Amino acid sequence: MSRFRSFVIRFGAPLVVVAGVAGVMAARRAATLRNTLELWADSLKHGSGPLSMDVPFVPAYLDGRKIGSLESLRLERHEPRVVDSLRLVIDLGHYAADDPEVRGCAFQLTTFDPGEYKHALECAADTSGLVRFGRVVFTQGGDAPLYLSATELACAPWTDRAEAECIHQQVQEKVRRDVRRARDEIRQNVRVRVR
């Protein structure tokens, strides 16, 4: 038997077995997650009562920077198609666990659009005009309030609002938020340059 053939049999075969087992486990986990999402969506539309979901491997962002990973979310409901509050459980990364900006933040959920997940959570400078909508719990201990704008709450995915009206309101609010964010960045840059 050649050395190459011996090497392939000794190391290649076990690697193929391990890769196959890992592939089967990943496929089962993906199927379970898909079924959970389908059940969750159906329950959101037709059911009432609390609804929890573990969401492993989903990164958590605050103001566009990664702060850790989202462990789970829980919707509190008392009737179908109405969500009373939301609880997000976040496992803070080591770089954000001791950050006073993260720990002292009043979290604002700015959108329900999954494509905007990096900017879905922001640290609200002013909570007047916002609706308290739940809380953010850290796995390392502690929690923070979670707010939502009245417009975003009225146009939430579980409501029956007219699409055009909601899109118009959401675009207006997004433009205001982007202008406010740009103004804050300009102020920050001017302060840094003045010093």
> Same domain, yes or no, for 37 and 77?
no
Question: Which pLDDT value is given to residue 107?
Answer: 93
Res 5 pLDDT > 70: yes
> Same domain, yes or no, for 127 and 58?
yes
**Where is pLDDT greater, at 1 or 193?**
193
> Same domain, yes or no, for 135 and 66?
yes
> Same domain, yes or no, for 94 and 179?
yes
Res 44 pLDDT > 70: no
| pLDDT tens digits, 48-103 | 778 788 887 788 999 888 999 989 988 887 777 777 888 999 999 888 888 888 88
> Same domain, yes or no, for 42 and 79?
no
Give the confidence band of 1 by pLDDT, cuts at 50, 70, 90: low
Query: How many domains would you assign to the chain?
Result: 2
Question: Which pLDDT value is given to residue 146?
Answer: 93
Question: Which pLDDT value is given to residue 160?
Answer: 64
> Same domain, yes or no, for 79 and 101?
yes
Rounded-to-integer distance, Cα 162 and Cα 146, Å:
26
| pLDDT tens digits, 112-161 | 777 778 888 989 888 888 889 999 999 998 899 999 888 777 777 666 66
Which range of 26-35, 44-53, 171-180 scores highest in mean pLDDT? It is: 26-35
Rounded-to-integer distance, Cα 118 and Cα 147, Å:
17
> Same domain, yes or no, for 83 and 26?
no
> Same domain, yes or no, for 23 and 65?
no
Rounded-to-integer distance, Cα 174 and Cα 43, Å:
29
> Same domain, yes or no, for 93 and 71?
yes
> Same domain, yes or no, for 85 and 154?
yes
Question: Which pLDDT value is given to residue 163?
Answer: 66
Rounded-to-integer distance, Cα 151 and Cα 170, Å:
7
Which structural domain, as residue segments, surrounds residue 41? 1-46
Angle among Cα 51, 53, 58 to the nearest 5 degrees reads 145
> Same domain, yes or no, for 148 and 80?
yes
Question: Which pLDDT value is given to residue 195?
Answer: 66
* Mean pLDDT value across residues 28-47: 74
Question: Which pLDDT value is given to residue 90?
Answer: 93
Question: Which pLDDT value is given to residue 144?
Answer: 92
The pTM for the full model equals 0.65
Question: Which pLDDT value is given to residue 164?
Answer: 62
Pairing assessment for the beta strands 130-138 and 85-92 based on DSSP bridges: parallel
Question: Which pLDDT value is given to residue 27?
Answer: 87
> Same domain, yes or no, for 9 and 97?
no
Q: What letter does residue 117 receive in the DSSP assignment? A: G
